[in-house]
Amino acid sequence: MHDCHREIVQWMEPLGIKVRIDAAGNLRGVYAGGQPNGPRLLIGSHLDTVPNAGAYDGILGVVLAIALLEELQGPRFPFAIEVLGFSEEEGVRFGAPFIGSRALVGRLDPQLLQVCDSQGVSVRKAIEDFGLDPEHIPEAELGKDTLGYLEFHIEQGPVLEKLNQPLAAVEAIAGQSRLAVTFVGRANHAGTTPMHLRHDALAGAAEWIGKVERAGQGVPGLVATVGRIEAKPGTTNVIAGEVRLTLDVRHSSDDIRRRAVADLIREAQEIASRRGLSVNESTVLNQPAVAMEPFLIDHIEDAIAKAGCKPHRMVSGAGHDAMILAERVPSAMIFLRTPGGISHDPAESVASEDVEKAIQCGLHLLQQLAASHEFHKTANFTKG
């Protein structure tokens, strides 16, 4: 990440962007507006990604923000523009996503700072090892001069490709639940323990995984995923005595999502009871569905049309930093078509002509917002 920051700073400083790294590791570059100490518009995305990832998830949104400022070639708006490169959106290392953006809304609290990775290193210690001081995290919080937040992002799905459209305005981000689930049985010899006398944690977990898949298939719009499984002791000739899994459930309706999670927990308990196992679960993330700002969505659709594309609105099934920023400031997203719908994989890609359309859309959008008296009134906007 240090190397990433150094590279991006080299792109930003020649444009007159003043860059800093906040105490949560977020890269923040301010392109001054036409009036000193005026309000600011945030544009950005995240710099981290997942193992075996592609090149565009997150980082494309940061590059596009810089490209917009490069295209401006000097003109100043009534507001400053702050480019954001969030440090930790995916939650890969600590199992807790949105660490960087949570700092901006005041939710990077002491409890989260104590969350540890698989090596026992806490978020707080990782921040310190990176060369930052966690005591300064409150200084990363957004001020009342923030007008709003915009995020360009690849769709990470096949919808826009099927529609043959390069861009879309995101009207809402689906809520998501992430849980850690553990089945506990009894480890024993695989060759000498009769099948009817076993307490096989892995067999119980496998039965439950099938229930998870069927739950996702049975409710329109619901997705349910077991993404990681770890069996202990993990030896060929030993019955698994403990199995740890992750559960990820998402839907645009919070009620449907919560009911699905509750049903799956009951299913796990029933399976465990029947098989002579125990099961426990803990919630890692309970993120409500988030609507994007209608005023910004309308302007994005106008800007998409001015860029020569057909406007389209859609729901994001993936979580994004925009859903965190929306707690405090008006927020909106613009999706770019993802060829093949492939993401979180080296085959992830974008079309250069779609990126060009996104830049055109962004420039039109900035001009529209600069001319909008209603948008300027959102300064000092905060949500409770």
pLDDT digits (tens, 9 = 90+) for 22-42: 999 999 999 999 888 889 999
Whether residue 87 sits in one domain with residue 7: yes
Asked if pLDDT for residue 136 goes beyond 80, the answer is yes
CATH number at residue 216: 3.30.70.360
Point out the domain boundary residue: 287, 308, 343. 287
Point out the domain boundary residue: 269, 287, 305. 287
What are 311-324's pLDDT values in tens digits?
A: 999 999 988 999 99
* Inside any domain, residue 131: yes
Q: Using CB atoms within 10 A of its CB, is residue 259 exposed (0-12), middle (13-18) or buried (19+)?
A: middle
CATH number at residue 33: 3.40.630.10
Residue 69 belongs to domain spanning = 2-174+289-376
Q: If you average pLDDT over every residue of the chain, what do you get?
A: 94
Whether residue 194 sits in one domain with residue 147: no
Whether residue 293 sits in one domain with residue 225: no
Q: At what angle do helices 352-371 and 294-306 cross, to 10 degrees?
A: 120
* Inside any domain, residue 24: yes
Collapsing DSSP to helix, strand or coil, 79 comes out as coil
Whether residue 152 sits in one domain with residue 114: yes
* Inside any domain, residue 384: no
CA 246 to chain centre: 17
What are 53-84's pLDDT values in tens digits?
A: 999 999 999 999 999 999 987 778 999 999 99
What are 345-384's pLDDT values in tens digits?
A: 999 999 999 999 999 999 999 999 999 877 876 554 444 4
Q: Which pTM does this prediction carry?
A: 0.82
Q: Are 46 and 90 in contact (CB under 8 A)?
A: yes
Whether residue 184 sits in one domain with residue 58: no
Whether residue 132 sits in one domain with residue 25: yes
Whether residue 215 sits in one domain with residue 139: no
Whether residue 349 sits in one domain with residue 270: no
Q: What is the DSSP string of 196-218?
A: GG---HHHHHHHHHHHHHHHHHH
* Inside any domain, residue 13: yes
Q: What is the pLDDT of residue 383?
A: 46
* Inside any domain, residue 382: no
* Inside any domain, residue 126: yes
Whether residue 68 sits in one domain with residue 167: yes
Total domains present in the chain: 2
* Inside any domain, residue 381: no
Point out the domain boundary residue: 239, 254, 287. 287
